[in-house]
């Protein structure tokens, strides 16, 4: 079946630093989505990507849909404490496959 490899699994950074995480797939996806999940809550959609090569921003977040349609990255610039959480990539179409998540910890 389809699998997503998300890296890194965890990140420990200083407030103000930039963050980069990525996902790769063994299969081609038509859609890449990035979510953030806080403890005990459901994931919140951050960015949706629909076209190969597409680069989309949402405030300090930027995500790209890889040209091969098998990968995507998410960047967070100038991190702040509320960025703490787990970030998931998801690929697919109507049905989504999720990556393992990247746990972001920020030292003030």
Partner 1 sequence: GAVVSQHPSRVICKSGTSVKIECRSLDFQATTMFWYRQFPKQSLMLMATSNEGSKATYEQGVEKDKFLINHASLTLSTLTVTSAHPEDSSFYICSANDRGEYEQYFGPGTRLTVT
Q: Lay out the site mask for partner 1 across 31-70 (x = CB under 8 A, - = otherwise).
A: x-x-x----xxxxxx--x-x--------------------
Query: How near is the Cβ of 16 to partner 1 at its closest, in Å?
Result: 27
Q: List for the chain the helix, strand, coil content (%; round to 5).
A: 5, 55, 40
DSSP alpha helices (H): ranges in the chain?
none
User: Which among 42, 4, 50 has a CA at the least distance from the CA of 23?
Assistant: 4
Judged by CB under 8 A, which stretch of 12-20, 55-63, 68-76, 93-101 contacts partner 1? 93-101
Judged by CB under 8 A, which stretch of 51-59, 62-70, 75-83, 89-97 contacts partner 1? 89-97
């Amino acid at each position: 079946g389809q699998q997503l490899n998300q890296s890194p699994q965890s990140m420990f950074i200083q407030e103000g630093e930039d963050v980069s995480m990525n996902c790769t797939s063994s299969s081609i996806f038509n859609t890449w989505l990035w979510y953030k999940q806080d403890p005990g809550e459901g994931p919140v959609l951050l960015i949706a990507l629909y076209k190969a090569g597409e680069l989309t921003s949402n405030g300090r977040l930027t995500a790209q849909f890889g040209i091969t349609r098998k990968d995507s990255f998410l960047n967070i610039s100038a991190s702040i404490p509320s960025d703490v959480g787990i970030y998931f990539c998801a690929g697919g179409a109507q049905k989504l496959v999720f990556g393992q998540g990247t746990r972001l910890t920020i030292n003030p």
